Amino acid sequence: MTTIPQQRRTLTTTTGAAYSRIWGVGGYRPERVVTNEEICEHIDSSDQWIRERSGIITRRFAAADETVVDMAAAAAHEALRSAGLTASQISTVIVATVTHPYQTPGAAPIVAERIGATSAVAFDISAACAGYCHGIALANDMVRGGSATFVLVIGVEKLSDFTDKTDRGSAFIFGDGAGASIVGPSDVPGIGPTVWGSDGSKWKTISQRHSWIDVRDGDVDWPAITMEGPEVFRWAVWAMAPIAQAALDQAGIKAEDLDAFIPHQANMRIIDSLVKKLKLPDHVAVARDIAETGNTSAASIPLATQRMLDSGEAPHGGLALQIGFGAGLVYAAQVVVLP
Ligand code: UT7
């Protein structure tokens, strides 16, 4: 047993808000709409196959000179507007991304500077398609622990830069975009417990083809992100339903209490399977943004949330279950009150 040595002084620590909630959500979708026909110029596939197997009809690709930072800043401005806050009130910027093309520095400090949240705490996290839900978990704990007041959480990807457009297993699935939300103090609970974890034994199932060291030393192609689709599909369908259910249970919420289900937009068939396994009643609105946006990894959940709120599909102040899962493999789920 370890004994803690007697201290001459007691440390002063921070305490934060009783609870936290999401104050506002924003999104940015690049202008260019890319059809399945255009994708099929580079792979042996068809519009029909892509629609049936993934549910994707179109996706957006960013312009060549449009960066992860540009898209993140655009989504951040929308989130600030929606929350009724100014950038100077943001104490922390968390950017979840796997496609910022610099190993260092992270995108977050540049985004913070760009939007006017100068001197904010700013860092990136790499949790792929679960990155946004990881960011919400961190933000909730920071606000409640007293190390932050308002946290800007951004999920952003420019996957078109990291996709092999000739790879039949992944070229049709990914898209570009950014989604953001702001987590701040609340008198009532607005973010339920996060159920999260990882399975590193499956790291190879979604990965860049080569490391940067291979690129430097070897005669290798651009290290595009590729995926062992069927294996990831099976994992998502079988392992994620219990995680989503645990997030409901830990929040003390039943499926019938939900207003919306906002899973990572990976594949329409995965979404359908989760809806069935969770026995969600018909009144629960289900995010199906993948049809027009594709799989935007860390951006997919906030983008889908923004679409559902803007279209009136999900009510402001309603209860939503969100779950992110992907490369790592990693996952995170929580019930949130929609702003
Ligand atoms: O975002 C992070 C997490 N990612 C995911 O959750 C994605 C999970 N995986 C998936 O969504 C699916 O695995 C894909 C959509 C990527 C692929 O769908 P699938 O139903 O798993 O296809 P498959 O690889 O099992 O292939 C089925 C058939 C095969 O033909 P045979 O052997 O049955 O004759 C493939 O050769 O479809 C063929 N196929 C294609 N056909 C036309 C594979 N890719 C294509 C293609 N176009 N692009």
pLDDT tens per residue across span 52-91? 999 999 999 999 999 999 999 999 999 999 999 999 999 9
> Which of 186, 207, 240 corresponds to the end of one domain?
186
Q: Residue 253 has which token pair?
A: 């919420």
Mark whether 180 and 211 lie in a shared domain. Answer: no
- Domain membership flag for residue 220: yes
pLDDT confidence of residue 2? 62
For a mutational test of ligand 1's pocket, the pick from 36, 226, 233, 303, i.e. the residue with the most ligand atoms closer than 8 A to its C-beta, is 233
Average pLDDT over residues 89-104: 97
Give residue 50 CA to ligand 1 midpoint distance, Å: 9
Give residue 230 CA to ligand 1 midpoint distance, Å: 6
Q: What percent of the chain has pLDDT over 90?
A: 95
> Considering the chain, what is the average pLDDT of its residues?
97
Task: Answer with the residue of higher pLDDT: 236 or 8.
Answer: 236
Which residues have C-beta within 8 Å of that of residue 215, sequence separation ≥ 6? Answer: 222, 223
Domain holding 260: CATH number? 3.40.47.10
Give residue 294 CA to ligand 1 midpoint distance, Å: 15
Residue 4 has pLDDT above 80, yes or no: no
Mark whether 129 and 253 lie in a shared domain. Answer: no
pLDDT confidence of residue 89? 98
- In whole angstroms, give the CA distance from residue 39 to residue 81: 35
Question: What residue ranges line ligand 1, CB within 6 angstroms?
Answer: 43, 45, 49, 53-54, 129, 168-169, 172-173, 206, 229-230, 232-233, 236, 266-267, 270, 295, 297, 326
| Active-site residue flag, 129 | yes
Q: DSSP of 301-326, one letter per residue? A: HHHHHHHHHHHTSS-TT-EEEEEEEE
Q: What is the DSSP letter of 6?
A: P
Average pLDDT over residues 226-249: 97
pLDDT confidence of residue 52? 97
Mark whether 144 and 29 lie in a shared domain. Answer: yes
**Max alpha carbon distance in the chain (Å)?**
72
Domain that holds residue 41: 19-186
- In whole angstroms, give the CA distance from residue 182 to residue 139: 9
pLDDT confidence of residue 217? 93
> Which of 134, 151, 186 corresponds to the end of one domain?
186
Residue 200 has pLDDT above 80, yes or no: yes
Whether the CB-CB separation of 180 and 320 falls below 8 Å is answered with no
- In whole angstroms, give the CA distance from residue 191 to residue 23: 11
- Domain membership flag for residue 9: no
Q: DSSP of 94-106, one letter per residue? A: EEE-S--S-SSS-
- In whole angstroms, give the CA distance from residue 72 to residue 68: 6
Average pLDDT over residues 149-158: 98
- In whole angstroms, give the CA distance from residue 133 to residue 94: 11
Mark whether 178 and 228 lie in a shared domain. Answer: no
pLDDT confidence of residue 1? 59
Mark whether 181 and 255 lie in a shared domain. Answer: no
pLDDT confidence of residue 5? 67
pLDDT confidence of residue 184? 98
pLDDT confidence of residue 256? 97
Residue 185 has pLDDT above 90, yes or no: yes
Average pLDDT over residues 225-247: 97
pTM metric for this prediction: 0.96
pLDDT confidence of residue 8? 77
- Domain membership flag for residue 8: no
pLDDT confidence of residue 219? 85
Whether the CB-CB separation of 180 and 151 falls below 8 Å is answered with no
pLDDT confidence of residue 3? 65
Which residues have C-beta within 8 Å of that of residue 222, sequence separation ≥ 6? Answer: 164, 215
- Please give the single-letter amino acid code of residue 339: P
Q: Which single residue is written with the structure tokens 């990894």?
A: 297
- Domain membership flag for residue 10: no
- In whole angstroms, give the CA distance from residue 28 to residue 39: 22
Average pLDDT over residues 157-168: 97
Residue 201 has pLDDT above 70, yes or no: yes
- Domain membership flag for residue 12: no
Mark whether 169 and 290 lie in a shared domain. Answer: no
Q: Which of ligand 1's atoms lies nearest the C-alpha of 267?
A: 11
Give residue 203 CA to ligand 1 midpoint distance, Å: 19
Mark whether 199 and 268 lie in a shared domain. Answer: yes
Q: Residue 204 has which token pair?
A: 């190879």
Q: Where residue 9 falls among pLDDT bands split at 50, 70, 90?
A: confident
| Active-site residue flag, 40 | no
Angle at 222 between CA 221 and CA 223, to 5 degrees: 105
Mark whether 217 and 179 lie in a shared domain. Answer: no
Whether the CB-CB separation of 16 and 145 falls below 8 Å is answered with yes
Q: Residue 233 has which token pair?
A: 């599909």
Average pLDDT over residues 331-338: 98
- In whole angstroms, give the CA distance from residue 210 to residue 262: 32
Average pLDDT over residues 191-198: 98
Q: Structural domain tally of the chain?
A: 2
Mark whether 218 and 255 lie in a shared domain. Answer: yes
Mark whether 53 and 117 lie in a shared domain. Answer: yes
Nearest CA to ligand 1 atom 6: 266
- Domain membership flag for residue 13: no
Extended strands (E) in the chain? 19-28, 32-35, 58-61, 92-96, 121-125, 151-158, 176-186, 195-198, 206-208, 225-227, 260-263, 285-286, 319-326, 330-337
Nearest CA to ligand 1 atom 19: 230
Residues in the chain: 339
pLDDT confidence of residue 336? 98
- In whole angstroms, give the CA distance from residue 52 to residue 29: 24
Q: Give the other-Cβ count within 10 Å of 177's Cβ.
A: 30
